Amino acid sequence: MVRLIDSHAHLEDIKDLKNSLQRASEAGVAAIIAVGSNHDSNRFVLEVSSRSWGDLKVYPALGVHPWEISRSQVEKAVAFIKEKVNRAVGIGEVGLDYWYREVRENPEMMAKQRSLFRTFLKIAKRHDKPVIIHSRGAWNDCLNLVIEEDVKDAVFHWFTGPDNTLQRLLDHGYYVSATPAAEYSREHRRVIQKTPIENLLLETDSPVNYRGFEAEPADIIRSLHAVAKLKGISIEAVAEETSENASSLFNIDI
């Protein structure tokens, strides 16, 4: 049976987590990276990863999502992350999002996002942790900051950025992760086709809604099948290679 790693899921937002993780385990998921988005979710991922889930392992990553930046508790979240960083397998979900006009037309907000992202990149660098990056609409700025801060390991999650940014991130040895949107999103499919399997991870970004269905970690099977089809590689080979990549990036055993 294949052993998969869902490298990006928001477990605090999943209904009926226990059964959902059971289904993931039955689908062949060996490990999940539970990403944090804000102070409460960071506390949650630490707690949920300390529980036993049978054969399935849950590993925590700590971060503040760029959408959360205008809410309160950002400083509290940063202090908490600095204190708990050794328990995390990565820093994320962090990054920049210029997709929405309110942000794009607000230079102050963009600067605020960059400054917080830089703080997280410095924490990752200091503690030698990989970074899980949200880069929508801000692909080039994200990559520039990661390179500037000399971060060694990073995954650009659900990447849909332009070819030249993709090529540069691959040249630096960074990863890209594929979601179930690989079934239909033109931009995401282009990225997966151009990314060598050595630089690919699988994920679900659960519980994101993909064209009418709310994802849970078991839906990583859809990411797996879509990637295998796009790249013309067997399902087994994609599973093996992407799990190996995730296990080496996050320094975890599966």
Q: Restricting to residues 83-102, which ones interact with Zn ion according to CB under 5 A?
A: 93
Amino acid at residue number 218: A
Q: Determine, following the binding rule CB under 5 A, whether residue 68 of this chain makes contact with Zn ion.
A: no
Q: Which is nearer to Zn ion, 153 or 205 (CB)?
A: 205
User: What is the size of the binding site for Zn ion (CB under 5 A)?
Assistant: 2
- Rounded Cα distance between 166 and 156, Å, is 9
φ, ψ of residue 32 to 5 degrees: the values are -130, 135
| Span from 18-26, 80-88, 198-206, 216-224 in contact with Zn ion (CB under 5 A) | 198-206
The values of phi and psi at residue 200, to 5°, are: -110, 140
In the complex, the smallest distance separating the C-beta of residue 155 from Zn ion, rounded to whole angstroms, is 11
**Residue 165: left if φ>0, alpha if ψ -120 to 50, beta else—which one?**
alpha
Token readout for 169 is 């991130």
CB closer to Zn ion out of 12 and 93: 93
Rounded-to-integer distance, Cα 82 and Cα 80, Å = 5
Q: Are 166 and 17 in contact (CB under 8 A)?
A: no
3-state DSSP helix/strand/coil % of the chain, to nearest 5: 50, 20, 30
Q: Decide whether 93 or 153 has the Cβ nearer to Zn ion.
A: 93
Restricted to residues 92-151, the positions that interact with Zn ion (CB under 5 A) are 93
Closer residue to Zn ion (CB): 80 or 158: 158
Contact range with Zn ion by CB under 5 A, out of 122-130, 136-144, 178-186, 205-213:
205-213
Report in angstroms how near the CB of residue 242 gets to Zn ion at its nearest.
18
- Name the nearest CA neighbour of 241 among 149, 180, 175: 175
Alpha-carbon gap, residue 249 to 131, rounded angstroms: 10
Is 205 a binding residue for Zn ion by CB under 5 A? The answer is yes
* Tokens at 185, concatenated: 């999103």
| Burial classification of residue 67, based on how many CB atoms lie within 10 Å of its CB (0-12 exposed, 13-18 middle, 19 or more buried) | middle
Which window, 53-61, 141-149, 200-208, 220-228, contacts Zn ion (CB under 5 A)?
200-208
CB of 168 to Zn ion, least distance (A): 23
Residue (232 or 250) nearer to Zn ion, CB: 250
DSSP string of 164-210?
Answer: HHHHHHHHTT-EEEE-GGGGT-HHHHHHHHHS-GGGEEE---BT-EE
CB of 208 to Zn ion, least distance (A): 7
Closest separation between CB of residue 4 and Zn ion, Å? 18
Least distance CB 90 / Zn ion (angstroms): 13
Interstrand relation of 90-95 and 57-62 (parallel, antiparallel or unpaired): parallel
93 vs 97 by CB, closer to Zn ion: 93
> Closest CB to Zn ion among 67 and 240?
67
CB of residue 217 vs Zn ion: minimum separation in angstroms?
13
- Residues forming contacts to Zn ion in the complex (CB under 5 A) are 93, 205
